[in-house]
Amino acid sequence: MDYLTIIQILDSSVRLATPLLLTCLAGLFSERAGVVDIGLEGKLLAAAFLSGAVAAVTGSIWVGLLAGVAGSLAFSMLHGLASITFKGDQLISGVALNFLAAGLTVVIGQSWFKLGGRTPSLSGDGRFEPWNLPFSDALAKIPVIGPAYDELISGHTALTYVALAAVPLSWWVLYRSRFGLRLRAVGENPGAVDTAGISVVRLRYMALVIAGVLCGLAGTYLASLAAGFVKDMSAGRGYIALAALIFAKWRPWYALSATLLFGLLEAIGNRYQSIALGDFTIPVQFMQALPYILTVIILAGFVGKAIPPRAGGQPYVKER
């Protein structure tokens, strides 16, 4: 394996990790506030469909981005209505949203475009264009450093850089701001927050709004990357993001490392579809399943003791 091949695999890892990172950060805010969000998969799928559909109709990915974020926010508010306002089971609410998104996207897509649930292919302004950072062309010819800067650091879309910038921003919000302190307190001891005169319901809804926006960005990125929407295109990324969140122990910087690891595993699986080991050839299906298999192995054997927020999954009932 030569140097350029390594750079290409790492470049692919960053692209594949971007939607995982945004979705993982969405789950981070939600669960830090005490709301378990199994519905990340559904929000991701809804955002991908709406952004792809609207971008195909309007010819603008930016209008599609607004539609994707709006769709994800709508699903977040449904989850909040069921689990915060009506104090329903958060796991059941999230699973129901996943089923709802999987069905609605196909039905509406078929009714709208008559393409079997797909959207028309996106091109031109209907997709995000890669951003070439300053001096990328000039530095490309320099050995070692040039290819790394030109292909690995430069040449990604706007949402990739937004996702990377969201990591330190999330850390600052959660650990250095008053809002973050209150948000984490709601996830640990909502009764104490309520006693201090701060609305638990409002903070949890605000966390779901942030989660909805981040999932909307992730879904739009998927639609742009794949040049349109296809049935179940999220392919379990919402669940992998949850696994990465547990692996990261609900911390932003660890979330970046975990999602990059999962992106690397997927990139390797995509690049090496079949590997010959002597007389035995590893099936392509195994390579495609490799990221999911290693996700289970990592969670089962290498996470250690991951302690979630103490009030996670528990509806708050105000004492009279």
pLDDT tens digits for range 64-94: 999 999 999 999 999 999 999 999 999 999 9
- Give Cα separations from 275 to 60, 284, 291 (angstroms): 41, 8, 16
Q: Which residues share a beta bridge with 281?
A: 276
Higher pLDDT, 171 or 261: 171
> Tokens in use for 231?
């049935």
Closest CA to 214 of 9, 22, 16: 22
End-to-end CA distance of the chain: 66
Highest mean pLDDT among 64-73, 188-197, 226-235: 64-73
**Are the C-beta atoms of residues 190 and 34 closer than 8 Å to each other?**
yes
pLDDT for position 146: 80
Q: How far is it, in rounded angstroms, from Cα 291 to Cα 244?
A: 12
> Tokens in use for 68?
């994707």
CATH of the domain at 41: 1.10.3470
The owner of tokens 């320099």 is: 142
**Is residue 212 situated within a structural domain?**
yes
Single-letter code of the amino acid located at 167: V
Q: H-helix or E-strand containing 183?
A: helix 178-188
Q: How far is it, in rounded angstroms, from Cα 166 to Cα 172?
A: 10
Higher pLDDT, 197 or 140: 197
pLDDT higher than threshold 90 for residue 279: no
**Is residue 318 situated within a structural domain?**
no
pLDDT higher than threshold 90 for residue 162: yes
Say how many residues make up the chain: 320
User: To the nearest 10°, the Cα dihedral for 87, 93, 94, 98?
Assistant: -160
Q: How far is it, in rounded angstroms, from Cα 223 to Cα 230?
A: 9
Higher pLDDT, 246 or 297: 246
Overall number of domains in the chain: 1
CA angle 314, 318, 319 (to 5 degrees): 120
Closest CA to 174 of 260, 253, 72, 73: 253
**Is residue 270 situated within a structural domain?**
yes
**Is residue 141 situated within a structural domain?**
yes
**Is residue 305 situated within a structural domain?**
no
pLDDT higher than threshold 90 for residue 157: yes
pLDDT higher than threshold 90 for residue 102: yes
Q: Which domain holds residue 101?
A: 3-299
**Are the C-beta atoms of residues 290 and 269 closer than 8 Å to each other?**
yes
Percent of the chain residues topping a pLDDT of 90: 60
**Is residue 133 situated within a structural domain?**
yes
- What is the Cα gyration radius of the chain? 20
pTM for the predicted model, two decimal places:
0.93
**Is residue 130 situated within a structural domain?**
yes
